[in-house]
Amino acid sequence: MPDLFLIEFKGNRRGYYNNAFYHSLEKGERVIVEAERGEDMGLISQQIPESVEVETEDKPLAILRPATPEDISYADTNADAEKSALTRCEGLVAKHGLPMRLIDSEYQHDRNKLTFYFTSDNRVDFRALVRDLAAIYKTRIELRQIGVRDAAKRIGGFGVCGLQQCCTSFLKRFEPISTQFAREQNLSLNPSKISGNCGRLLCCLTYEKQHYMERLSKFPRQGEHFITDKGEGIIEAINIFEDYMLVKLPGGEMDKVTLTDIRKRERHKKSFFKNWRGKGEKKHPKE
């Protein structure tokens, strides 16, 4: 069975390809791969071990050959042509008055296809634009509408943490995220602090969600009433890292209640009800 490789393309696009012709390949090497209609060029990201099962929507295509110096030079020429095409397409978009924002353009290595990526809040009728582009570039034109998250992934960049965006480094798919994730983690709901470069909620809000849910399940809910040794108050905050919560008493004082205290109270309550039920059974013996 041919070796399976993960190949990276422009804009952090990735795909699995078989080394069908058994070439000697190494990580970081550029290769020519089979495309839908012709050939494309990508970079070997990694070889997939036989023991690892990968999920692919389509059957992996073939790696045709290692890229030659001529292929690499031609790819550089394509990169310059892509910039020119994007600028020209922006002019045509303005001419047709289309409500779309162009993000990137990408030539297939053999120039059998030229793809333009764009974002828009609505569906766009770009048939006239495609006709103009096809007349200019004499090749197959594809306009692909993508979401703002996918746009950020194509452009790349660094997050507020100072590291490369997760979507451009390791994330394979985007998960649904809500502001509830930030609330559970006691984060500020200021959009500038919990939003990524795409303008959407940070993907990393999902990373610790399960941990927070497990830890918070050991405490009463924030906002509930709770009786402490100093009186009844409202749970103001929960610190899952140091295992305590703060209860705000009527006078404004904060009473710190540890998880150990909560467990002792629960054990005491269970013991009380158990004894109470036992006494009740003695008062009402079976006939």
Chain segment 132-145, per-residue pLDDT in tens: 999 999 999 999 99
Both 81 and 52 in one domain: the answer is no
Long-range residue pairs from 53-61, CB within 8 A, at least 24 positions apart, any chain: 54/4, 54/16, 56/16, 60/4, 60/15, 60/16, 60/17, 60/18, 61/15, 61/17, 61/18, 61/33, 61/34, 61/35
Residue-level pLDDT at 144: 95
- Residue 280 confidence class, pLDDT cut points 50, 70, 90: low
Residue 61 lies in a domain: yes
Both 128 and 113 in one domain: the answer is yes
Residue-level pLDDT at 84: 96
Residue-level pLDDT at 120: 95
Residue 39 and residue 64 in contact, taking contact as beta carbons nearer than 8 Å: yes
Single residue among 146, 162, 183 that ends a domain in this structure: 146
pLDDT > 60? residue 200: yes
**Average pLDDT in the chain:** 89
Residue-level pLDDT at 287: 43
Single residue among 22, 52, 67 that ends a domain in this structure: 67
The domain that contains 265 carries what CATH number?
Answer: 2.30.30
Residue 101 lies in a domain: yes
Both 141 and 79 in one domain: the answer is yes
Both 62 and 80 in one domain: the answer is no
Residue 109 and residue 73 in contact, taking contact as beta carbons nearer than 8 Å: no
d(CA 149, CA 172): 12
Both 80 and 112 in one domain: the answer is yes
pLDDT > 80? residue 277: no
End-to-end CA, the chain:
78
Residue 279 lies in a domain: no
Structure pTM?
0.77
Chain segment 112-135, per-residue pLDDT in tens: 999 999 999 999 999 999 999 999
Both 98 and 141 in one domain: the answer is yes
Residue 83 lies in a domain: yes
Q: What is the mean pLDDT of residues 66-85?
A: 96
pLDDT > 90? residue 187: no
Residue-level pLDDT at 265: 79
Residue 200 lies in a domain: yes
- Residue 12 confidence class, pLDDT cut points 50, 70, 90: confident
Report the percentage of the chain scoring pLDDT > 90.
65
Residue 142 and residue 114 in contact, taking contact as beta carbons nearer than 8 Å: yes
Both 56 and 88 in one domain: the answer is no
d(CA 227, CA 198): 44
Highest mean pLDDT among 232-236, 271-275, 278-282: 232-236
At 8 the three-state DSSP class reads: strand
- Residue 276 confidence class, pLDDT cut points 50, 70, 90: low
Domain that holds residue 236: 225-272
What is the total count of domains within the chain? Answer: 4
pLDDT > 80? residue 93: yes
Both 57 and 84 in one domain: the answer is no
Single residue among 93, 113, 146 that ends a domain in this structure: 146
